[in-house]
Structures are given as C-alpha cells and as structure tokens.
Amino acid sequence: MVLDAFNLEGKVVLITGCNTGLGQGMALGLAQAGCDIIGVNRTDPADTQSKVEALGHRFCSLQADLTHPEVVTRVVEQAVAACGKIDILINNAGIIRHDDALNFSEQDWDDVMNVNSKSLFFLSQQVARQFIAQGHGGKIINIASMLSFQGGIRVPSYTASKSAVMGLTRLMANEWARHNINVNAIAPGYMATNNTEQLRNDESRREEILARIPAGRWGIPDDMMGPVVFLASAASDYVHGYTLAVDGGWLAR
C-alpha cells in the first residue's frame, strides 16, 4: 500500500545543523517516521536529542565545524562506527552574511561558501561512497533557498552558495542515480528561524515579505516535515535532481 512507502522504520539519517531551526524540524519529522538520527553540530543539540529520544529513537551526536570541509571524512567514519550504516543524508547546515556587494569581504565569501556549498559537496561525496559500499542506494537531500532561483540583495555569498546547491543537486543526481541514490533538494521560502532574525527585525522588510507570500504567513520548521519524509522515503524513488520549493507560494508570484 502506498502509505507503507513513506515508512522510514529502521533507517539511519545523518543530518547537519539540527540543534535548532529547520534542521531540528526535519530531524523530528524523520524520527516520527521511524528514523534513528545522527546529528552533526558545532554546538550541543541537547534539545533535539531529548525530543528524538522521547519519540523512541536513537540520537547520536557528532561534533564538527563545517567551515572546515576536511572534517567530513571523520564525520562519516564516526557515523558508520556509531550506527553501522547511513541511509539518508540531509545537508542542512548553512550560514548567511549580509553586506553590500561593493563592500563584501573575502572572509564572508569563504565562510559561507565553505559551509553551504563545499562541505555539502564533499560530505555528499563521502556518503555516496558509503551508500555504494553498502550496496542498496540511499537518499541525499540538500537544503537550497529562494536564492537558488533569485538574486537576493546584500547576500552575495549566500546567493552564490545556494545557486551552487541547486546545480550540484542536479549534477550529483545525474552521476549517482544509476547507483539507486536519489539526490534532491528542498528550497525553503521565508521561514522564522535564526537565519532570518536580522530580516524579521527590520519591520518594513518583514511586512514587505509577508505581503508577498500567498500563504499569508512566514514558514515554520514543522512545514519541512512532510516534504523531507517524502524525499527520504521510497515514495520518491523515481524523483532525481529536483529542487522542491516549500515557500508558501513565493515563487509562484
């Protein structure tokens, strides 16, 4: 029956940046669907850990700073040592820096590109090698953005990095679909998390954005649960290289 295809009982998820925000929402959605969770964080994900455990699933915490892409090999080794396998990778960790393009610093370029694009690619590469060694495919879900589709203002490295996420999602799907690896992305719209705090504190920008969202509200972490479970499950086995907007209709305007 089709609903059985959404069941993730016994699956192991590796997710980056799940101590807060959308990552926490997705970790909890995946745990509700049956997954054990391996969380990769800079800071202690105690709140997510206790919520996952309350759902009756394992939570394994790995500490890593994804500003340094070379950490990814160790992360995958530790994940496999802890849980024996990986079935699903969620590349969620991401940062944003704001400044005029005329003033934008090389540091703000490199930091954002390293976390949002470079670590995402090399972690996907390591996990895809693991999927191939395990012999039965897997699921990779990258977190893109409206700025994978649009230019944005005063966030040059964020726009570059998230445009790269959508392109890399397609490239990795093209190369790895034959190994039964599905690579897709979710592009959240304007969601109320730490990432958008600066934007939401600017009253005129906040109201301007809200007025343009057909759904009439900012998104919340729970809005990610259904889409991520779909893309992590057998229900999406023939979906490859697609970036699904979860945006309250923003891109439809």
Q: Given the rule CB under 6 A, which residues bind ligand NAP?
A: 16-17, 19-23, 41-43, 65-67, 92-95, 115, 143, 145, 188, 190-191, 193-196
Which is nearer to ligand NAP, 41 or 157 (by Cβ)? Answer: 41
CA distance 42 to 139: 24
> Which CB atom, from 56 or from 216, has the smaller least distance to ligand NAP?
216
Q: How far is the CB of 186 from ligand NAP (least distance, A)?
A: 8
Q: How far is the CB of 191 from ligand NAP (least distance, A)?
A: 4
Shortest approach of ligand NAP to residue 19 CB, angstroms? Answer: 5
DSSP letter at 103 equals T
Question: CA torsion, points 26, 30, 36, 37, in degrees to nearest 10?
Answer: -10
Q: In the block, which residue shows the tokens 């290289």?
A: 241
Token output for 145: 């953005």
State the minimum distance, in angstroms, from the CB of residue 13 to ligand NAP. 15
Strand order in the sheet with 36-41: 59-63, 36-41, 12-16, 88-91, 138-143, 181-188, 243-246
Q: Which is nearer to ligand NAP, 177 or 205 (CB)?
A: 205
Residue among 107 and 194 whose Cβ is closer to ligand NAP: 194
Residue partners of 197: CB distance under 8 A and separation at least 6 = none
Of 158, 190, 238, 242, the active-site residue reads 158
Q: In this structure, which amino acid lies at residue 15?
A: I
158 is catalytic: yes
Tell me the catalytic residues.
158
